[in-house]
Structure 1
């Protein structure tokens, strides 16, 4: 499969899942933000790795647990949305994206607010 098609599939999955999580987050708690930061689909479109960020971060573990418990529900919702564009809905694997936390930690350390010793 050419990479342009794979990129379009990844973008479609990211947009649709982001919309699903936006709706679900509002049902759970006002002010909760669940963002889909990246989607990586294998060549045969059978598996998609979805990277999720949760803000405020204090809800990250509980939300990721809830997402993992409800993977069939999210796959069904996704299938209802993309059924006309894709014949098979990929198997969904969710991961926490903590890249923004790492960026924040590095920025704080560079500003001298971290735990790094003085040189």
Structure 2
């Protein structure tokens, strides 16, 4: 379980990294959409941050992730400029591809193709209901 310090730092990093990728460094993506940051996990010593990126659009997710990993130093420097008054140390950024949204879409498609028959309808007459069990002798 993360401490409050870790949670605050993770939240700050997620917001500021999104701003860095969208506003400060859009040239990294060649005019395309910047990836969205789905989650940030920070180590207890705040030295490393694991950044999970959602690379939904396009089939070149691995190439885009490699571009981001290659430019991690530049991203960290731009992040440092944004959070220099808030954080004492800017953690090392480690980027991962988060494909949970694509997996959820795939599972939705699979579940949509299943043929599930409707449950048989039961009559709601009071005569068929079993008698209420007696809890005490004097009922």
Interval containing the TM-score (normalised by the shorter chain): 0.7 to 0.9
Normalized per residue, the structure richer in strand is: 1
The 3-state SS of whatever aligns with 2:35 is strand
Q: Equivalent residues in 2 for 1:1-119 (5 A)?
A: 3-23=3-23, 24-25=25-26, 28-30=30-32, 32-112=33-113
RMSD over aligned Cα, in angstroms? 1.8
Structure 1 segments, 4+ long, off by >4 Å, are none
Unaligned runs of 5+ in 1: 114-119
TM-score by length of 1: 0.85
Number of matched residues? 111
Larger-gyration structure (1/2) = 2
| 8 Å CA contact 2:56, 2:102 repeated in 1 | no
The 3-state SS of whatever aligns with 1:61 is helix
Unaligned runs of 5+ in 2: 115-139
CA deviations over 1:5-64 (Å, ceiling 9, x no partner): 21111000000001111123476224x241011000001000000000123132312211
| Partner Cα separation in structure 1 for residue 53 and residue 70 of structure 2 | 15
Normalized per residue, the structure richer in helix is: 1
